């Protein structure tokens, strides 16, 4: 009968299995090998930038009503929404460019100093919209139309660009070129050469849309007020990259 042979040897309470001897020898040989030094490399971070004159305008619209019941508050806000939506369409803003950002119905309570309690005052319905005007020269007229339709507030006026994706690509290319240029300077100063690219990553791009400080409660605007004028500045997009290259020579 043929089978595996197992031999165990014991000395002073220590047991060694014959089956583990080859593995132990292999581990000794591996540990005896000299460790290979890590390849020299250089890592660089750099920023890239792109800018353009904005050609679009975005702003936020708030519709808000308070009533004794939630149903009534909702109905009032819905009526106002219909008027504002019609005004936007009449100003050339498509439904896709006027989207809801948030909607809520909450109890309204106010603090009563005499009774030292919060007193129920009804329900407040709030509907916030984000509006995009694709022709910046029409932004003022659109804002006036929204105000005239009964919006309760307009804020967060931002200038942006239809070329945003293109600007982001330009900024990325600029950042990578800047990173490579810095890495080459460092390599030359160290007396070595830049090798192959071994790693690259980027952080989320940051855009700096020009913001107008216009923010107002619409009901305070007088009917015969002049047309709102908005003048944009420049839109800037910034991207940061992290790149690593191997180094060669200099040994």
pLDDT in tens, 201-246: 998 777 665 555 444 444 444 444 556 776 667 889 999 999 999 9
Give the H or E element holding residue 148: helix 139-148
**Mean of per-residue pLDDT scores for the chain:** 82
**Pairing mode, if any, of strands 56-67 and 117-133?**
antiparallel
The yes or no reply on domain 54-161+210-233 and CATH 3.30.70.2970 is: yes
pTM of this structure? 0.66
Mark out the alpha helices in 95-161 (DSSP H runs).
Answer: 139-148
Average pLDDT score over residue span 92-113: 95
Report how far residue 39's alpha carbon sits from residue 35's, in angstroms, rounded to the nearest whole number: 12
pLDDT of residue 148: 95
The better pLDDT of the pair 102, 33 is held by 102
Q: What is the pLDDT of residue 49?
A: 95
Q: Which of 213, 210, 195, 205 is nearest to 240 (CA)?
A: 205
| pLDDT band with cut points at 50, 70 and 90 for residue 16 | very low
pLDDT at 135 over 90: yes
Locate the domains of the chain by residue range: 54-161+210-233
Residue 48 pLDDT greater than 60, yes or no: yes
* Beta bridge mates, 57: 133, 159
How many Å apart are CA 182 and CA 171, to the nearest integer? 16
């Amino acid at each position: 009968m043929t089978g595996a042979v197992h031999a165990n040897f014991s000395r002073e309470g220590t047991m060694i299995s014959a089956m583990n001897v080859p593995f132990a020898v292999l581990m000794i040989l591996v540990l005896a090998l000299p460790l290979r030094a890590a390849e020299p490399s250089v890592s660089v971070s750099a920023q890239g930038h792109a800018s353009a004159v904005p050609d679009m305008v975005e702003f936020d619209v708030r519709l808000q009503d308070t009533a004794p019941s939630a149903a009534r508050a909702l109905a009032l806000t819905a009526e106002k929404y219909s008027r504002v939506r019609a005004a936007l369409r009449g100003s050339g803003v498509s439904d896709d460019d006027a989207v809801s950002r948030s909607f809520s119905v909450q109890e309204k309570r106010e603090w009563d100093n005499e009774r030292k309690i919060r007193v129920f005052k009804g329900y407040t319905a709030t509907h916030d919209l984000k509006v995009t005007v694709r022709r910046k020269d029409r932004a003022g007229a659109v804002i006036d139309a929204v105000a005239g339709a009964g919006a309760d507030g307009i804020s967060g006026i931002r200038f942006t660009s239809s070329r945003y994706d293109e600007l982001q690509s330009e900024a990325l290319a600029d950042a990578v070129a800047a990173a490579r240029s810095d890495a080459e300077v460092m390599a030359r100063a160290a007396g070595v050469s830049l090798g192959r690219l071994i790693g690259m990553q980027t952080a989320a791009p940051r855009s700096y849309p020009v913001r107008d400080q216009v923010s107002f409660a619409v009901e305070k605007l007088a009917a015969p007020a002049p047309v709102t004028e908005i003048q944009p500045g420049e839109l800037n997009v910034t991207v940061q990259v992290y790149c690593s290259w191997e180094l060669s020579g200099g040994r």
